[in-house]
Amino acid sequence: MSEPASAAANAATVAASAVKAASASAAATELYGSFFLGPDEFALPAVCIREVVNLPAKITTLPLSPAHLEGMFTLRGTVIPIVNLGRLFNPAAGPAVPGNKVAIIEHQDVLVGMLFDDTGEILRVRPEQRSVLQYAPGATPGVIAGTILLDQGNRLLQVLDANQLIRIENVPQVLSLRASGQQRLQRAQAQGERRRCVSFRSAGTSFAFEMAAIQEIVRVPELQPSVLAGKLCLGRMNFRGSPVAVVDFTALLSAGAAARPVDAADQDQRVMVARIGDATIAFLVDSVDSIIHFYNDDVLPIPLLSKARAGMFGGCISRPEQGDVILLDHSGIFSHKEIAEMRQGHAKLYPLDGQQAAAGKESRHGARKVYLTFRLEQAFAVEIKQVREIIKFSDNITRPPGTPHYMRGVLNLRQMMVSVIDMRSLYGMPEQAPGELSRILIIERGEERYGLLVDGVEDIITVLDSQRYAAPRLMRNQAAGAGMQSEAAEVIDMEKDDGNRQSFSVFDCGSLIDKLANLLPPQAQP
């Protein structure tokens, strides 16, 4: 081979080796995203960063959760838990503040949000710039996987381990459904029939019990002392002649905190009486908010929140106009042992209550119906099955021109147009601006759907046939101008636990819908 040909061959070989080395180096180079937490800089493999979002305006606090779990928020139909990385390293670190960023990590189809102070940049990191942190044999690996050294050793980044971040104890694991076709198929399969629940607030968070679990919702009665009173049990109440333990729901969520005393001045507090297995348990809550209807696929997953009473959490119902509500599985709140102690203990310790129950059963008769009570100048009751749901009054009501004076306007409720009726105006009552307690009762019949604006919703009560009476003729006289009472065919009269009596005019939504169908012009009907 001639000397020029040999030189050309050598040059080609060197070039090929250079290309191969460059390809190998490029293959070994990895992309990382950097984030700041105070003065410290962290890095995550770009492949596991799904997106970065601003701190959500609405974060739902999770009960029984560790300090490093900031809460959860809903992102395009998926519940994302947020881990406060600062508190993970230092429990005394502060909470999230406006301006923080949340990096959504997706690893092994699990989604978790990491809270940082700010974002950095996208980095291309070569193998020699990376180092791996070695843990002692048998030790549990931490969330720091290694380091990246840049700028000739003047810049150090700590590499976070995505595999460990999604497995932090008591942080819920939420699976990511990537295929929209799969989501639609699962939605169609899970749709099922419509369900209803009653939402309430406790410890600053909204929860809900399914309607089937609730026997009654009442104002806080005078509680009787009980030797079983402790961290959870406030005492006992007389419920239809039987002793029922009253549990402080906030203390239940606080995992060991002492039960708080009943605040007689708090007009919002309620007692929710629920049936759990074969036992009746009452819960003291801060307030009862509304009735929500939902389908199976509306319940977003929030798996294990805590080892304590983890079975009570059924999922999250996300409502853009009202906020997130944690749906509870009432059957998983207490262990069988706890239920037996509360039920059998009270029955054995207070046999007199049991005797009163037996005597009461002999004197009472007839079937029971469940009613929702509300206020509109006076106290009214409506059979709860006539109410689709309850929502807070909203200013997002559009009033079309030419609508009658008693029609407040039209409300877009989850892509359903609802005509909102001002009940005060319809029945000639004095005008009153809607307040914090005002509610809209959503009623429907077939394709007809209305929202009834009332002053406030009070309780859910169970009424015996013997407690319902035909309304007096004088009250039902249309010519007498008795307003809503003129349309009440029945009156409920029942004795409260304190011995006083209370009465309600029974309102029939069907009659109102008939009336509105005749009054409203066709274009104003929903």
What does the H/E/C string look like for 282-310? Answer: EEEECEEEEEEEECHHHEECCCCCCCCCH
Per-residue model confidence as pLDDT tens digits over 184-218: 445 444 455 678 888 898 888 889 998 888 888 88
CA distances to 4, 22, 160, 255, 465 from 9, in Å: 9, 20, 47, 77, 104
**Listed residues 331, 346, 363: the one ending a domain:** 363
- Residues 373 and 345 occupy one common structural domain: no
* Chain segment 222-231, per-residue pLDDT in tens: 887 765 555 6
Is residue 224 domain-shared with residue 262, that is, in the same domain? yes
Which tens digits make up the pLDDT trace of 283-293? 999 988 888 88
- Assess whether 306 and 387 both reside in one domain: no
In a domain, 80, yes or no: yes
The region of weakest confidence among 149-153, 171-175, 271-275, 354-358 is 354-358
Domain-terminating residue out of 363, 389, 422: 363
CA dist 313 and 306 (Å) reads 10
**Which residues, in sequence order, are CB contacts of 516 under 8 Å at separation 6+?**
419, 421, 450, 525
Cβ pair 116, 122 in contact under 8 A? no
Same-domain pairing of 230 and 351: yes
Q: Looking at the structure, tell me whether residues 350 and 372 fall in a common domain.
A: no
Which range marks the domain in which residue 316 is found? 188-363
Is position 18 within any domain? no
Q: Is position 180 within any domain?
A: no
| Residue 6 covered by a domain | no
Please say if the pLDDT value at position 247 is more than 60.
yes
Domain identity same for 130 and 35 = yes
Could you tell me if residue 8 is inside a domain? Answer: no
Q: In this structure, are 300 and 438 located in the same domain?
A: no
Handedness of CA 10, 14, 20, 21 (dihedral sign): positive
| Per-residue pLDDT at 410 exceeds 80 | yes
Domains of the chain: total: 3
Contact 160, 44 (CB under 8 A): yes
Residue 34 has pLDDT above 50, yes or no: yes
Picking from 108, 140, 175, the residue at the C-terminal end of a domain is 175
Query: Tens digit of pLDDT for each residue in 173-183?
Result: 666 554 444 44
Q: What is the CATH number of the domain that holds 356?
A: 2.40.50.180
Strand order through the sheet with 448-454: 389-392, 439-445, 448-454, 416-422, 407-413, 397-398
According to DSSP, residue 311 is labeled: G
Asked if residue 325 and residue 458 are part of one domain, the reply reads no
Both tokens assigned to 490: 């029945």
Q: Which DSSP letter does residue 485 get?
A: G
**Mean pLDDT across 330-356:** 61
22 in a structural domain: no
137/266 same-domain check: no
512 lies in the same domain as 416: yes
Same domain, 114 and 215: no
Residue at 130 is within a domain: yes
Mean pLDDT over each residue of the chain, to the nearest integer: 77
Residue 20, in any domain of the structure: no
Do 278 and 308 fall into the same domain? yes
